[in-house]
Amino acid sequence: MEPQSERSPSLVADDLFRREGARLVATLAAHLGTHRLQLAEDAVQEALVRALQTWPYRGIPDNPAAWLSLAAKNIALDALRREQTWQRKEAQITAEQERWLMRAEPADEAHLADDTLRMLFVCFHPQLSLEAQLALALRTVCGMSAGEIGAAFLTSEAAIAKRLVRARQMIRDLRLPFAVPTVPELPQRLDGVLAALYLLFNEGYKASSGDRLIREELCHEAIRLARLLSKHPVTSTPATKALVALMCLNAARLKARTGVDGEIVRLRHQDRSQWDMALIQEGILTLGAASSGETISPYHLEAGIAACHCLAADEACTDWPRILNFYDQLLLLKPTPVVAMNRSVALARVHGPAAGLKALESIPGRRSLEALHLYHAVRASFIAELGHHAEASAAWQQAAELAPCEAEQQFLNAQMHSPSAEVRFSSVYFPAMQ
């Protein structure tokens, strides 16, 4: 990484905003209350604008993150003061909010000390719909864009934007207070929080847009928050532990998933010596700890699939029948087109590409998949293995045209020009909440 002094102020500010923006919004909203969520977002955005305006002339501060945090707090304070009225009650509320903002750290750590986790639980308020809860959590707390959220739900950016507007309007209308749920209420909101972390990790594992296939910072943040939940006495459930295991086992392969130029390296060609053995060990041990209890979650099954890959010495040793069995169970718990598509890959590895192609093309609700580049890529790989190279080339081209990430476009274009049975999708990791 180049020294900070040699980087332009705009690049430093942009990188800082990507890494710290969601956390700053969560911290401000924690003190202001969710009914002032828009104020928190506006304050952080304005702080970034001021950084872009002042840093080129005054230089980058020694601690850019602290500068941005202080600027956002001051902007929020100014806005609160402008809103003051002569009514005593409102003046007292504003004064109390100012005292909160001037504290270095939040005082209430009775249940969840981490601001991001606290805000996640707040987003899953029972008076909001599940769709609104997830969209709000992913946008405000996790920092995902409306387009990225839309990709996770196989819907449009405009639809997500409307969903967010409705959610914020309801928050204002109902004046939902910022309050971490009581201990008995935590389990009722936990499933939604786990789903948000799951989708945050997915966006990091395979970015839905941009010039990078992997966004490691999102993966590591999702793991950090999930680990905190796994250590909390109330939220340390088997499902929470299974999600931690799933994330660790998949994050262990991050370094090997791309080459020196950022190109995709498929699972069967990865240098397994680059896999993070500490994360694999943590994942296996955590999955074992998640086996207590009488229920099994989709996270258990997906972690089992990931474990099969991580424990195989090489591609030939992969236990594909076991993976297929996991997918059969997962499809019962989570009967979505995406899960069925992933299952077709495992089916092809056990029973051949013809069986995989037949299963792929008979998926109920397949039309929703046809807008995904991965559907056409999986189909192309089956057709190529069957020796129909002209048809496979057309499918590769369709996949490349739909691919949102540059690295994927390059990979798919390479297959289009040279389709062969050698190209196999060992595993398609694209879980989503449809």
Residue 294, CA atoms < 13 Å, CB-side half-sphere: 0
Question: What's the confidence (pLDDT) of residue 302?
Answer: 96
Question: What's the confidence (pLDDT) of residue 166?
Answer: 85
Beta bridge partners of 210: 405
Q: Where are the beta strands (DSSP E) in 265-378?
A: none
Helices (H) and strands (E) in the chain, counts: 19, 0
Alpha carbons 346 and 426: distance in angstroms, whole number: 8
Give the chain's end-to-end CA distance (angstroms, integer): 38
Nearest to 360 by CA among 372, 376, 384: 376
What token pair was written down for 324?
């297929």
Contact indicator for 124, 193 with CB cutoff of 8 Å: yes
Question: What's the confidence (pLDDT) of residue 71?
Answer: 84
11-14 LR contacts (CB < 8 Å, sep 24+)? 12/55, 12/60, 12/64, 13/48, 13/51, 13/52, 13/55, 13/64, 13/68
Domain ranges, ordered by start, for the chain:
1-103, 336-434
Encode pLDDT of 295-353 as tens digits.
Answer: 899 999 999 999 999 999 998 899 999 999 999 999 999 999 999 999 999 999 999 99
pLDDT along the chain (434 residues), means of 10: 55 66 74 71 81 80 82 81 54 54 45 78 84 86 85 86 85 69 86 94 86 87 94 93 97 92 87 95 96 90 96 92 97 93 95 96 90 92 92 93 88 76 42 34
Alpha carbons 205 and 202: distance in angstroms, whole number: 5
What token pair was written down for 347?
């089916």
Beta bridge partners of 264: 258
Neighbours of 180 (CB within 10 A): 20
Q: Quick one: DSSP state of residue 264?
A: B
∠ CA 163-165-170, nearest 5°, is 95
Question: What's the confidence (pLDDT) of residue 109?
Answer: 41
Question: What's the confidence (pLDDT) of residue 111?
Answer: 57
